[in-house]
Structure 1
Amino acid sequence: MKRFITKILLGALLITSYTSCSDFFNNEPDNIETLDNVFAHREGTLKFLSNIYSYIRPPYRWSNETLWAGVSDEIDVTYADYEISKINLGMLAPDREGLYYGNLWSHYYPGIRAATLFMNRVNENVELSQEEIDQYHDEARALRAWFYFCLIRQYGPVPILSDQLIDGDATVEEMNMSRATISTCFNYVINELTEVIENGKLLNSNASMSNLDYGRFTKLTCMAIRARALLYAASDLYNRDKTTPLFRELKNNDGTYLMDYTNNGATERWQKAADAALEIITTSGLQLHYSKNRDAYESYREVFMEDWNDEIIYAIPDGSFWEMDLASTPHGFNGWNGWGVTQEMVDAYFMANGEAPILGYNADGSPIINPKSGYSESGFSTSSGDNGHTESGTYLMYCGREPRFYASITFENMKWISKVNHSGEKVHFYYGGNAGRTLTETRNYCQTGYLCAKFLNPNTNVATGNNDPHAAVVFRLGEVYLNYVEALNEVNYTTNLSTILFYLNQIRERAGIPGYGEQGLAVPANQEEMREAIRRERRVELAFEEARYFDCCRWAIAHKYFDGPKHGMNVNDPAGESAFFKRTVFETRVFPERNILWPIPLSDIYKASKLVQNPDWSTVSSTDMEE
């Protein structure tokens, strides 16, 4: 037993921690002590808890490890040797455990075990008050629930250890656990969080904590995780009557179907998701964030630039988004040019009049343009416009778009938004431009002709290393609004229409575009049309926040959007600017249906005979793939 616990402690202490502006997140142990000593003293106990927090992965961060947007249809990560690029080319396999995404199975379970160990022993500490013991115990319990949720969204049904700490000397058979059904998994997460919420031992929200405590899980954090878990539990992927045939037949060796939700009870599941979201809306005291002048562009930017603003439910006080700023900066401005946005994502943003510019695509990939939108791909502007966000000579594709587009995308001929590094200079993605390919580049350049600007801090100077830190937003009220309207629509479109429109249009109002039923913009006429409207709003409002990837997976449609050709502008033609404005395939991605649920690492499958692999992965091997 002692040997196993020591392994847990070692894993918790050695796990990579993110540098933070919060002392709480900086509080790493200096050395490995015995558990008795750790839990006998206040400092050791808090360091142990701090390292459980370090298992949290930021939703967006320039890294080879954690960029879920990079394996969706939102982003192209420039570097060919990064694992994201390999995954997008079909190289995901159960035996490729070196791919960090595929190894999150081995990342979260140590975090789960460390949390359980902490819960079992924190009450031994005589230097902590009972109030502190209760709070820290429930923080660890909530963290454990979050880690389980992260496993479920990636792998589907997983083994649930509950409060069990398996002895390190246990036999293989004693450690051999089968996967729980999906209803058991979600119910476990939801019930754990509900008990923590009802215990009332956590801090209520960010507003009730000191600066040193930013980053702790609060009651409101738990409510947000629970609401998201309830939304996922109601979604099609986990419903045997609505999921794809591939996942419908997923079952344990004893014949137990793992996707055990059905249409029976589906409405009730959606209603629970709606109720959980509404509880946050009505009790949190939060609101959609607006800038002082209520400018739509500034309001949206400030959600991610102003730490602990009035929309944030939970954020990681990371403070080290230096790499994100570098990745979002053109190489001609001392950056990495690394976070390219796909044409498909550019097309998703609305026009200023609230209309969608693109309704779909023809068989050859050409866009089906919405005639009501005013969108054009012919010609260039003759003057500046769009509240100063477009210059004379800007391709009309980028003119007349909504404020969230200008707040999120760096496009050809726009003025660079940095205030301290090449401020106001125009960005050029064409061949030979300051953000484009050069004669010496073979692959490590922006392939799409766009960069992500959403999280770019204009006060960070990548040329001098002057980093202006900000937190990574994990949960915010804008998502809760969208969760709420999605659930209400699935419960009953007709009955809930007025409420759906109210909250959906609140998102659009902050974005600076007309709501449905306003200024001639038609109201979605039925549940199916409203479903598509809500999904499109989620795609834009929550862009690059890891929502798109997991949304498409839980809707069981990811393979329809992530697989196949992905487009950008023509960045490779030496003719330069004259040849640039042409939709061009930059990569043909491989995302078969099986990728919706990732493979469990093969080493774990070998160790546990009861642990069944996800569908269609058993015959996949890295030896059959070319690097």
Structure 2
Amino acid sequence: MLKIFNKIKTSVLIAGVALMSLASCNDYLDVVPDGGDPTLDDAFNLRSTAIRYRGTCYSYMQKDGFGSGDPALLGGDELWDLYPRTTQKYIGQTMTMIARGLQSKSNVYGNDWDHYFTAIRDCDNLIDNVDKVPDMTDEEKAQWKAEGRFLKAYYHFCLIRKWGAIPITKHSLPMDASVEEVRVYRDPIDSCFNFVLDEIDKAIPYLSESFDESEYGYVTKAAAAAMKARVACYAASPLFNGNEDQKNLVDKRGVQLFPAKTEEQKLERWKYAMQACKDAIDECEKVNIKLYTGQDITLRLGDNDTLKTDLILRGTLCQPWNTELIWGNTQLSWGSSERQYWQMLATVDLQAKTLGMSGPITGYRCVGVPLKIAEEFYTKHGVPITVDRDRQNGWNELDIVRGDEAHKYYIEKGYETVKLNFDREPRFYAYLGFDGGKWLGQLPEATLQKAPGQLSPEDIFDVECRNGKYANKLGGNQGPVTGYFPKRTIPYQNRVSGNAGTNVSTTFFPYPIIRLTDLYLLYAEAINEVEGPNGPNSAEMFKCLNDIRERAHIPDVKTAWDSYSTNPGYYSTQAGMRAIIHQDRMNEMAFESQRFWDLRRWKEAPAEYSKNIYGFNLNASDPTEYYKKTLVFEQPFLLRDYFWPISTSIMEHNPNLIQNTGW
């Protein structure tokens, strides 16, 4: 694991932030030289101190997957936080403000503009000074400089996806920079992406192919290539690629930050992205990165394919260092207190029912999955529920069914639940907890010691959250919120117990920044945008999608649509294939901090947000009342919400910056 280190004492000018804005890198070194305060030179006197500076450069990484810091987790429409609640001591509700449309230029939520420009300066310091370290080889110095270069590019990308066009920092300004020099302008969006892509290209040849376990989390060639592919796909996507909605974003120099493009120019971006994805997949194959198939599952499942599939699908997110993880974020331990807080807020104490407990013992359950996300998962036939020939009317809230033998590992036998929960794809059951649903986790030691293959449906706990059940809604501080839970984010080994569910044990895993499945989906998307579903690379496109579907135990694209849908051949047009790829991506990547950004780059957020946040009637005990579709929140999304506002204070200090559209 990487470690986060404090920073060296020095004040520096941050390019693009504000007039005479000073950023302090405080207390980097733990060892203070005899002469007084540590200096930048002290950081590079020895490898043992330089490695701390290297760690500092990584420490700025986006805290993906952490509720209080990741806008893509609780700031969108994929998960919904109970609001208001007083349990913010566990996970604050800053990101929830974004989801509720409360962003403003005077109080910018998730504002890490200064944070990333400080990170970029530290990366420049690493690049500029690592050659001074006496006890390092030239090869290792080149590698560290390449890591600094890559991270610098990555931090630019983190800024771009939030603010769009930004000031490019080719090299951080010197301490004696003039007032006019620090009053920088935003660069056009294509220049921003070109800079990031060029910097990654320069870094890749010098990066390591792999690290031993003690250095997991540092960037490798495959990780850099994969991130290049993601950046290239963003650059090609409608939000950034000739976006006419931003045509009036012109600075005082007359520079258009989102210039108009011809269709051919837009297509060139997709062609570049397609090649970048192919190159990244090839790089991953060199180091044996492959789809995860559960080789390291320790639970004694024997030949129980249903349960093994459940753990494989959940493990793609939370099985540590699984075979398809390309780059994992180790900046905060998922065994840390915030990981425990997420456990308290996003799940239930599954053992409470058998122990005869109810109420506070079951945790807070403050994070729910909106009903529309549950609806988006496919049926067992691999098509949307609204076009499945067997269920073309979708679902009826009054259609209540008892759990049966066919669903015994998914739904409690005999328990009444809505038909929406029946005959769905395995990811539905692996990713979601719901009333009457089975949840493989928190198993007693005696159960764990059973002979392989002897784990019965009765051994697996179920969720019961209707009124009067053990995990029912208890008030403003305790859920459920919608009636669905993000099961996928919780390792099956985790435990919840104690007063108010505050005694928890968690399993460490690095949150996936990018994994191979993500890359496959991006490659399929790029191929379709370049040539549609009938071009020379269509076989590769379908293979990427079908390999993922095969692991999820659903039919391949053509079989699914031709054999089970009301719209055979839907995949034969570019528009139809685009819709399929987008939904395949939403289902596979659920709760993985991708939907938030994808809906924006595709410019599909207004349509999705207009569906609003719905759940069930959580205060009801009778299933015919409980399963009535109930509005939780009318979610707004305006044109301005595609990008963050630049804070008022920064705009006041630097009059050369222009505010984003709508703010």
User: What range describes the TM-score normalised by the shorter chain of this pair?
Assistant: 0.7 to 0.9
Q: Confirm whether residue 474 of structure 1 aligns to residue 513 of structure 2.
A: yes
The change in CA–CA distance for 1:75 and 1:12 in structure 2 (over 3 A counts) is farther
Q: Confirm whether residue 559 of structure 1 aligns to residue 606 of structure 2.
A: yes
Q: Confirm whether residue 609 of structure 1 aligns to residue 655 of structure 2.
A: yes
Q: Confirm whether residue 341 of structure 1 aligns to residue 369 of structure 2.
A: yes
Letter in 2 for 1:498: A
Instruction: Give me the whole-angstrom Cα distance separating, in 1, the residues matched to 2:608 and 2:158.
Output: 22
Letter in 2 for 1:264: E
Aligned to 1:379: 400
Aligned to 2:384: 356
Aligned to 2:353: none
Q: Confirm whether residue 431 of structure 1 aligns to residue 470 of structure 2.
A: no
Q: Confirm whether residue 538 of structure 1 aligns to residue 549 of structure 2.
A: no
The change in CA–CA distance for 1:407 and 1:11 in structure 2 (over 3 A counts) is farther
Letter in 1 for 2:100: L
Letter in 1 for 2:103: L
Deviations 1:335-374 (A, max 9, x none): 3312210101001100111121136xxxxxxxxx865569
Q: Confirm whether residue 58 of structure 1 aligns to residue 76 of structure 2.
A: no
The answer to whether the Cα contact below 8 Å between 1:301 and 1:454 also exists between their aligned partners in 2 is: yes
199, 206, 213: which one aligns with 2:215? 213
> Secondary structure of the residue that 2:512 maps to in structure 1?
strand
188, 194, 198: which one aligns with 1:181? 188
Q: How does 1:484-503 map to 2 (within 5 A)?
A: 484-493=523-532, 494-495=534-535, 496-503=537-544
> Secondary structure of the residue that 1:518 maps to in structure 2?
helix
> Secondary structure of the residue that 2:548 maps to in structure 1?
helix
Instruction: Give me the whole-angstrom Cα distance separating, in 2, the residues matched to 1:607 and 1:10.
Output: 18
Aligned to 1:445: 479
Q: Confirm whether residue 80 of structure 1 aligns to residue 91 of structure 2.
A: no
Q: Confirm whether residue 281 of structure 1 aligns to residue 277 of structure 2.
A: no
The answer to whether the Cα contact below 8 Å between 1:343 and 1:568 also exists between their aligned partners in 2 is: yes
> Secondary structure of the residue that 2:272 maps to in structure 1?
helix
Aligned to 1:625: none
The answer to whether the Cα contact below 8 Å between 2:10 and 2:25 also exists between their aligned partners in 1 is: no
Q: CA deviation at 1:193?
A: 0.3
The answer to whether the Cα contact below 8 Å between 1:348 and 1:358 also exists between their aligned partners in 2 is: no
The change in CA–CA distance for 1:170 and 1:481 in structure 2 (over 3 A counts) is same
Aligned to 2:241: 239
Q: CA deviation at 1:123?
A: 1.2
Q: CA deviation at 1:443?
A: 5.2
The change in CA–CA distance for 1:46 and 1:382 in structure 2 (over 3 A counts) is closer
Instruction: Give me the whole-angstrom Cα distance separating, in 2, the residues matched to 1:435 and 1:593.
Output: 39
Instruction: Give me the whole-angstrom Cα distance separating, in 1, the residues matched to 2:522 and 2:202.
Output: 22
The answer to whether the Cα contact below 8 Å between 1:290 and 1:299 also exists between their aligned partners in 2 is: yes
471, 481, 491: which one aligns with 1:457? 491
Letter in 1 for 2:418: Y
Q: Confirm whether residue 125 of structure 1 aligns to residue 133 of structure 2.
A: yes
> Secondary structure of the residue that 1:91 maps to in structure 2?
coil
Aligned to 1:95: 106
Q: Confirm whether residue 389 of structure 1 aligns to residue 410 of structure 2.
A: yes
> Secondary structure of the residue that 1:380 maps to in structure 2?
strand
Q: Confirm whether residue 137 of structure 1 aligns to residue 145 of structure 2.
A: yes
> Secondary structure of the residue that 2:407 maps to in structure 1?
coil
The change in CA–CA distance for 1:600 and 1:433 in structure 2 (over 3 A counts) is farther
Letter in 2 for 1:280: A
The change in CA–CA distance for 1:51 and 1:484 in structure 2 (over 3 A counts) is same
Aligned to 2:259: 260
Instruction: Give me the whole-angstrom Cα distance separating, in 2, the residues matched to 1:160 and 1:261.
Output: 21
Farther-moved stretch of structure 1 (87-96 vs 138-147): 87-96
The change in CA–CA distance for 1:282 and 1:170 in structure 2 (over 3 A counts) is closer
Deviations 1:217-262 (A, max 9, x none): 111111011100110111111233xx353x2222222221111362
Q: Confirm whether residue 401 of structure 1 aligns to residue 427 of structure 2.
A: no
Letter in 1 for 2:522: N
> Secondary structure of the residue that 2:580 maps to in structure 1?
helix
> Secondary structure of the residue that 2:496 maps to in structure 1?
coil
- Could you state the TM-score of these two structures normalised by the residue count of structure 2? 0.82
Aligned to 1:17: none
The answer to whether the Cα contact below 8 Å between 1:60 and 1:66 also exists between their aligned partners in 2 is: yes
Letter in 1 for 2:293: Y
Instruction: Give me the whole-angstrom Cα distance separating, in 2, the residues matched to 1:13 and 1:78.
Output: 38
The answer to whether the Cα contact below 8 Å between 2:370 and 2:484 also exists between their aligned partners in 1 is: yes
> Secondary structure of the residue that 1:303 maps to in structure 2?
helix
Letter in 1 for 2:43: V
Q: CA deviation at 1:5?
A: 7.5
The answer to whether the Cα contact below 8 Å between 2:489 and 2:591 also exists between their aligned partners in 1 is: no
Q: CA deviation at 1:154?
A: 1.0
The answer to whether the Cα contact below 8 Å between 2:317 and 2:592 also exists between their aligned partners in 1 is: no
The answer to whether the Cα contact below 8 Å between 1:69 and 1:75 also exists between their aligned partners in 2 is: yes
The change in CA–CA distance for 1:585 and 1:29 in structure 2 (over 3 A counts) is farther
Instruction: Give me the whole-angstrom Cα distance separating, in 2, the residues matched to 1:30 and 1:8.
Output: 24
Instruction: Give me the whole-angstrom Cα distance separating, in 1, the residues matched to 2:236 and 2:97.
Output: 32
Aligned residue pairs: how many?
A: 579
The answer to whether the Cα contact below 8 Å between 1:355 and 1:373 also exists between their aligned partners in 2 is: no
Deviations 1:167-225 (A, max 9, x none): 2x54432211110111100000000000111xx32111xxx311111010111111011
The answer to whether the Cα contact below 8 Å between 1:403 and 1:512 also exists between their aligned partners in 2 is: yes
Aligned to 1:316: 329
The change in CA–CA distance for 1:437 and 1:238 in structure 2 (over 3 A counts) is same
Letter in 2 for 1:283: E
> Secondary structure of the residue that 1:428 maps to in structure 2?
coil
The change in CA–CA distance for 1:416 and 1:143 in structure 2 (over 3 A counts) is same
Structure 2: gaps (5+ residues): 1-8, 15-20, 86-92, 296-302, 350-358, 446-458, 498-502
Letter in 1 for 2:227: I
Aligned to 2:448: none
Letter in 2 for 1:225: M
The answer to whether the Cα contact below 8 Å between 1:449 and 1:571 also exists between their aligned partners in 2 is: yes
Letter in 2 for 1:302: G
Instruction: Give me the whole-angstrom Cα distance separating, in 2, the residues matched to 1:554 and 1:87.
Output: 17
Instruction: Give me the whole-angstrom Cα distance separating, in 2, the residues matched to 1:261 and 1:244.
Output: 7
Q: CA deviation at 1:428?
A: 2.1
Instruction: Please report the RMSD computed on the Cα atoms of aligned residues, expressed in angstroms.
Output: 2.6
Letter in 1 for 2:471: A
The change in CA–CA distance for 1:201 and 1:75 in structure 2 (over 3 A counts) is same
> Secondary structure of the residue that 2:80 maps to in structure 1?
strand
Sequence identity (%):
26
Aligned to 1:23: none
Q: CA deviation at 1:500?
A: 1.9
Q: CA deviation at 1:458?
A: 1.5
Farther-moved stretch of structure 1 (577-586 vs 349-358): 577-586
Letter in 1 for 2:514: F
The answer to whether the Cα contact below 8 Å between 1:297 and 1:404 also exists between their aligned partners in 2 is: yes
Farther-moved stretch of structure 1 (35-44 vs 257-266): 257-266
> Secondary structure of the residue that 1:284 maps to in structure 2?
helix
Q: CA deviation at 1:416?
A: 3.4
